[in-house]
Structure 1
C-alpha cells in the first residue's frame, strides 16, 4: 500500500493522519484505513508486548464501533454491530466484563457489580460482587445478619436454613460444610479487607479479580440448586 508522505517536519502521528486523510479524500472509501489497521495490528508485532496489543485493540474498538467495525483478536478490522453513543462504544470495549462473560460467569455476579466492571475497577467490583452474594443468602434464608454469622446460621448442618443438597449422606453433609467454610474464607480474606482498607492499601490485580469472581460464580451456581429448609 503506497501512501504519499505529506512531508517532513511533522510529528509521526500527524504525518500518518495526514497521509490517510489525503487517501480518504482522494478515493472516498475506507479501504486504505482498514488495510492500515490490519497491518498495524498484526499480532506478530506484539509478541514481546501483548498488553500493548490489548490496549490498542480496546482503544480502536471504542472509535470503530461507532462506524460499525471492530478489531478482532487476530488484529483484523471486522464488521460489528454499530454503536450510536460514546457510552455504548466504551462499554463494549471493556475487557474485564467481556472476559467474565466468555467464562460463563453467573448472571448474579453481574447483577451487583456491572458499573464497577465497566469502569474496570477491580477493587470495588470484587467488593460489590461479594456483598451481592451475601444479599442473595439473606433473600433465600430470610436472615438479616451478615458475615460469618449469616453463613454459619444459613448452612448449619444441625439446623440448616439453606441446604445445597439433600444432606442425607456423609458426602452431602461434607459438601454443605465445605461451601460454608468457603464462604467464611471468602468473606474474611476478600470482602472484609476491601470493605475496611482504602484501595491504595489493598491493591487488586485483574488476575486476582478474575479468580475471585470465579469462586463467587461457583457459589451462585450451588445456590441455584439450593432449597430453604
Structure 2
C-alpha cells in the first residue's frame, strides 16, 4: 500500500457514521478487536461519535493513517457480510467515495485498500477553503456537529450561535439546573456548584474551576446573550472570528466532558 495521508476530520466522521449504521454497540467493540485494537470498547454513547473519537485517537498514534485503514478494511471485509452482498457493495461504494480524495479505493472482492487506478488531478482540491479551515482546528465532535455545516455555507453568525445554544443546553442537562446563559454558568460551575472539573483541594484547582466558570460566563455574555437580541446584520462575525470563538467553545466543551456532577451541592 502506498503512503497514506492523514484523513481529515470530515472523512473520519463520515466513516464513523457508516460504521455506526452498520453495527450495534457490542459489534463496534468486536470490529475494533478484529482490526487489532483490543483496548477500544464501546461505552454506550452515541455510536458514530464514539467511533469518530476512536478513529481520531488511532490516527494520532504512530502510523496513524494505517491504523484507520485497518479498521476500514475490516469494515469492508466481504466475509463480514455473508448473505448481504448488496449491503456490502453499498458500504464499499460509500467508503470509496471518501477514499477517492486520497487516491485510494477498497477492492470489492477482497476488502483491501489499494491505490486507485485513475485519479482525477483535482480530487484533493474538491474540499472548499472553508472546509479546510474548519477541519484544521480539530474541534470537539459536538462543535463539528453543530457548527461545520453552517460554517461551510458561510453562515459564521449562525455557526457560533448554534454552538453556544448547544453548549448551554449540555451544561443545563449535565448539571440538572433549569437556568440559561450567564445565570446557568455561575450556578453550575461556581465553587459551590454541582459541576466539578477537578477535586478543588488546592488553590490552583480552585482557580482553574473558577477560571472555567468565568470563561463560560464570558462566552454567554459576549456571544449568546447579544446574539439572542441582535439582528444578524448588526452582529457581523468574520470567518476568523468564528473559528476563534468555536475554538474557545471546543476547549470549554472538553472541560465539561470531564466534569463530575455532585447533586445537592448548590
Band the TM-score falls in, shorter-chain normalisation? 0.5 to 0.7
- Give the greater-gyration-radius structure (CA): 1
The offset of 1:205, in angstroms, is 0.5
Residue matched to 2:220: 187
Q: TM-score, normalised by structure 1?
A: 0.58
Residue from 169, 177, 180 that aligns with 2:202: 169
Residue matched to 1:203: 236
Residue matched to 1:78: 121
Residue matched to 2:143: 109
1:138 aligns with 2:181: no
Residue from 246, 251, 255 that aligns with 1:213: 246
Per-residue deviation, residues 143-202 of structure 1 (Å, max 9, x unmatched): 221011111110120x22100111111111111111111111111111222221111111
The offset of 1:69, in angstroms, is 7.0
Contact between 1:138 and 1:144, CA under 8 Å: does it hold in 2? yes
Residue matched to 1:22: none
Residue from 152, 157, 181 that aligns with 1:123: 157
Residue from 176, 180, 186 that aligns with 1:152: 186
Per-residue deviation, residues 68-104 of structure 1 (Å, max 9, x unmatched): 679xxxxxx73638xxxxxxx9xx6343343222221
Q: Distance in 1 between matches of 2:182 and 2:224?
A: 11
Structure 1 regions of 5+ residues with no counterpart?
1-64, 71-76, 82-88
What number of residue pairs does the alignment pair up?
A: 147
Q: 1:69 to 1:134 in 2, by over 3 A?
A: closer
Q: Distance in 2 between matches of 1:183 and 1:113?
A: 18
Q: Distance in 1 between matches of 2:129 and 2:163?
A: 17
Give 3-state SS (helix, strand or coil) of 2:121's partner.
strand
Q: 1:135 to 1:94 in 2, by over 3 A?
A: farther
Structure 2 regions of 5+ residues with no counterpart?
1-96, 103-119
The offset of 1:133, in angstroms, is 0.8
Contact between 1:94 and 1:120, CA under 8 Å: does it hold in 2? no
Give 3-state SS (helix, strand or coil) of 1:78's partner.
coil
Per-residue deviation, residues 33-87 of structure 1 (Å, max 9, x unmatched): xxxxxxxxxxxxxxxxxxxxxxxxxxxxxxxx9xx679xxxxxx73638xxxxxx
Q: TM-score, normalised by structure 2?
A: 0.51
Q: 1:211 to 1:69 in 2, by over 3 A?
A: closer
